[in-house]
């Protein structure tokens, strides 16, 4: 079932790994001004995920140029922009709401 996927720690570990790879790519490219990028992570209090996500889920990767101070934030699979709810929860809940009956949507809502 879908709600078991939302509780699977392997899913969240994979999403974290993908976000870390995107962050490394962004940092290696650098800023358009030519300045080096320094870590400037956004703090997050993620909602909607399983308990015990770990310290890595309390931050979103972001960088700040050493020269122009412009922020470079790579796209994230864990978060939807500035939202605090985890992206997987929002997307899956929306998909289920659009395609499933009332009883299953109620079960999913209760689980989340």
pLDDT of residue 21: 94
- Within a 10 A sphere around the Cβ of 77, how many other Cβ atoms? 16
68 pLDDT above the threshold of 90: yes
Token pair belonging to 33: 């001004």
Token pair belonging to 96: 């289920």
pLDDT band at 6 (very low <50, low <70, confident <90, very high): low
For residues 39-68, give the mean pLDDT.
83
pTM, rounded to two decimals = 0.69
82 pLDDT above the threshold of 50: yes
Token pair belonging to 47: 């909602």
Q: Kindly give the residue spans of alpha helices, DSSP state H, lying in 1-112.
A: 2-6, 9-29, 87-99, 102-111
Task: Tell me the domain boundaries of the chain.
Answer: 2-111
């Amino acid at each position: 079932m879908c709600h078991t996927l939302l509780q699977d720690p392997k899913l969240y570990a994979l999403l974290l790994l993908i976000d870390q790879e995107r962050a490394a790519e962004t940092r290696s490219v650098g800023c358009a001004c030519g300045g080096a990028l320094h870590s400037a992570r956004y703090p997050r209090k993620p909602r909607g995920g399983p308990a015990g996500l770990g310290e890595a889920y309390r931050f979103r990767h972001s960088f700040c140029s050493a020269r122009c101070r412009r922020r470079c934030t790579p796209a994230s699979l864990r978060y939807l922009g500035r939202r605090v709810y985890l992206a997987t929860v929002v997307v899956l809940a929306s998909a289920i709401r659009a395609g499933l009956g009332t009883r299953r949507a109620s079960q999913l809502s209760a689980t989340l």
